[in-house]
Structure 1
Amino acid sequence: MVEEIKEKNKSSAAALTVIRDNEIVLDHYSGTYSNTSSALPVNENSRFNVASARKSYLGLCIAFALYEGKIHSLDDYVSDYFNDIDPDILKDTTIRHMVTHTHGLNENSEGDIIREFNPGEKWAYRGINIKRMTQLIRKIYGVPFPEFLSAKVFSPMGLTQTWWETKDSDDLVKVINDPNRNGEDTTGSTEDGMESNLFVSAREFALWGNLFLNKGEMNGRRIVPKEVIELAINIHTPDHLAKDFPRNGMFWYVQDTPRKWSELGDRVPRGSFQILGVTGPTLVVIPKYNVVIAKMYNKRYNYGNENYLYYLKKFSSIGADTFQ
């Protein structure tokens, strides 16, 4: 299926790493770093831009801030932390709303914050919550959240292929917007987490998921407190949200019961969780089967709008079926 989707979407590169019972049971790489004839083949050191999957990294920082009392409660009002936003626009928006995409905020073309719906009323995928939560972590800890994670998590885990890149290098896979044009350099201007410039190898993406699967342990060693991991992957979506909308932890999509607009397949067991990005990465964690599946592509806007959810659900359902 990974290869079929690669060809269908005209991605030049694909990677798949599967961890079961803390062992890599499958490593698959195909294609090239870009869609040019001289592009090098993808391998285990190839690092993909994971786009919005970076939200799971930010989410862990928010979980840390809650655990350490830097944020008092998920139901704290956002206005308690930001005095530069019109309180009439923020209304009753809480941290809970921000991490579960139920905040109802957006930005207009001038960069002004606007309200689309009342907090907790609906679910909508926007970027304003990520920007503000990124700013919040810096405000709380005095350093950008990637720097915080590097000291707290990446270094203890031994990760060397996970970072927000500002300069192109030979191990960074290009992102393809138009298959008829060369792949693009998607490094950013800063390493502070405000941009979509996180590059990760398939193996380290899978290890990131495996850290959550093992509730913060790696090779029998405690990396992250268990309570922090549980805060990140437990469902925090307001209870009254309409049943068809997804349920979220700290940005992770979490399976409770199959839902119409969820990005997890109907056959994925309860308690599983997933994160993904517009360039094609998908990280699926299935605790029931002790499995982590990390898939990578380098093509922006995969599947087409009408088929987007269908293929995402199908992928995670097949992954669950494989290890059932």
Structure 2
Amino acid sequence: MRKSFDQVTKHVEATAKKVEQSGSALIIMHNGETVLEKYWGRHSNSENARKVQANTRFHVASVRKSYIGFAVAYAVYKGYISSINDLVIRYLPEWNQPIMEGTTIRHLLTHTHGLREREGNIARDFLPGTSWAYRGVGIGMLAEIVKRTTGQTVSEILATQVFIPLHYYESGWIGKKDETLVEVIRKENDSAWTESLSTEGDQMNMYVSARELARWGELHRTKGFINGNQHISKEIFQMTTSLQSPDLVNGDLPQNGFLWFVKDKEVAKSEIGALVPRGSYQILGYTGVTVLVIPDYQLVTVRAFNSFGSPEGFDYLSDVRDFGDAVVTAYKTNDVHA
């Protein structure tokens, strides 16, 4: 039996009409097999732009954080980082100042650090471990901790542990653009947009094809077990995709593993659809790129757009929750013969 995922296709097509984009993709894997692979549109709004195709690489924005989470887990597994409960200042002593008091690596990984960047300076919105807020300020700290403890950059760890041995040729931080990269459709003065030539893995310049994003999700679903071999220690994936958030006073806030959003219990403000079962996990990007892994159903689903941000009136969180629910509904109700 093969599942029909027409409902998911229609959802991605509907979202594409609501956001500012010129190209999109959808990949669904079930039990390690690609059961749906679709591409729409072109790399830009230019009349002669390249068509979106299998080797098209999308700017993944915050989806890159799942790779940074892997690098941190690798450093913990190898003993370079003693514990994610260690204070940040143990590894970054230059941050030994009152504003960082009590802030641990766990807080950085789970968006519970309470820090934010304000007019070029770091400010604090709440005490570490007391609430949740999605901020990018801790990501650079995590990348630097990885670099100092392991002697390798995030991208070097990904290259040696994943990309090279598993033949990922369409994933990485880009210093020089080529024809396979989409143009990111965005507002001219969007303050969230940054460009960098750094290939260390600490900046927002990662591009990945939809098919390799699906392989990345599948690698997590199998906990590093691919083609009959345990290529990467399963403990790394157990860390990254299990609940790591501290207990919060407000029990309705989102839950995280190593930067992945995880579904451990029902919470009102979850980034993951209500129908998606417990034990699932998801990573999201400001470009609309989404990787959803549902171990209970052996499913990995990737959607990708070359948009950036949300147009006025578009409810991004509602849309991504509905996307996950569409995947589950299609899986559970639409059986067809292969």
TM-score by length of 2: 0.91
Corresponding residue for residue 24 of structure 1? 34
1:116 to 101, 120, 125: 125
| 1:257-313 Cα deviation digits (max 9, x unpaired) | 232221100000000000010011000000000000011000111365761211011
Q: Is the 8 A contact 2:61 2:285 kept in 1?
A: yes
Q: Where do 1:184-203 residues align within 5 Å?
A: 188-203=196-211
Same amino acid, percent of matched pairs = 38
Return the offset for 1:108.
2.2
Question: 5 Å matches for 1:9-20?
Answer: 9-20=19-30
Cα distance in 1 for residues equivalent to 2:224 and 2:138: 25
Post-superposition shift, 1:10? 2.7
Distance 2:249 2:169 in 1: 40
Q: 1:153 aligns with which of 162, 166, 172?
A: 162
Shift of 1:37: 1.4
Tell me the CA shift for residue 234 of structure 1. 0.8
Count of residues in correspondence between the two structures: 319
Deviation at 1:192, TM superposition (A): 0.8
Structure 1 residue 229 displacement after superposition? 0.6
Question: Which structure has the higher relative contact order (CA within 8 Å, separation 6+)?
Answer: 2
Q: Helix, strand or coil for the counterpart of 2:326?
A: helix
Unmatched runs of 5 consecutive residues or more in structure 1: none
What residue in structure 2 maps to residue 51 of structure 1?
61
1:100 partnered with 2:75: no
8 Å Cα contact 1:188-1:195 kept in structure 2: yes
Partner SS state of residue 84, structure 1: helix
The answer to whether the aligner puts 1:267 opposite 2:275 as a matched pair is: yes
1:323 paired with 2:328, answer no
Amino acid at match of 2:14: E
- Give the 3-state SS of the residue equivalent to 2:92 in structure 1: coil
Say which of 216, 237, 258 aligns to 1:229: 237
Contact kept, 8 Å, 2:221 with 2:293, in 1: the verdict is: yes
- Give 1:259's aligned amino acid: V
Counterpart of 1:239 (choices 225, 244, 247) is 247
Preserved CA contact (<8 Å) 2:114 2:133: yes
CA distance in 2, matches of 1:46, 1:304: 28
Q: 2:94 aligns with which of 71, 76, 84?
A: 84
Matched, 1:301 2:315: no
Q: Match for residue 52 of structure 2?
A: 42
Counterpart CA distance in 2 for 1:82 and 1:115 is 18
Q: CA RMSD in A?
A: 1.7
**Aligned counterparts of 2:312 and 2:166: Cα–Cα separation in 1:** 36
Q: Distance in 2 between the 1:211 and 1:278 partners?
A: 23
Moved more, 185-194 or 14-23: 185-194
Using the alignment, how far apart are the partners of 1:165 and 1:216 within structure 2? 25
| CA displacement 1:95-144 (0-9 Å, x = unmatched) | 1111000001122213x322221001111111111010011111111121
Contact (CA 8 Å) 1:33, 1:40: kept in 2 or not?
yes
Code of the residue aligned with 1:223 in structure 2: it is H
Give the structure 1 partner of residue 147 of structure 2: 138
Give the structure 2 partner of residue 215 of structure 1. Answer: 223
Check whether the contact 1:54–1:196 (CA below 8 A) recurs between aligned residues.
yes
**Further displaced range: 187-196 or 21-30:** 187-196
Match of 2:240, SS? helix
8 Å CA contact retained: 1:265, 1:316 = yes
Partner of 1:164: 173
Q: Is the contact made by 1:49 and 1:186 (CA closer than 8 Å) also made in structure 2? A: no
CA contact 1:166–1:187 (8 Å) conserved in 2: no
Q: CA deviation at 1:65?
A: 1.2
Q: Unpaired segments of 5 or more residues in structure 2?
A: 1-10, 333-338
Q: Which of 307, 313, 324 does residue 321 from structure 2 map onto?
A: 313
More moved, 298-307 vs 29-38: 298-307
1:175 counterpart = 2:184:
yes
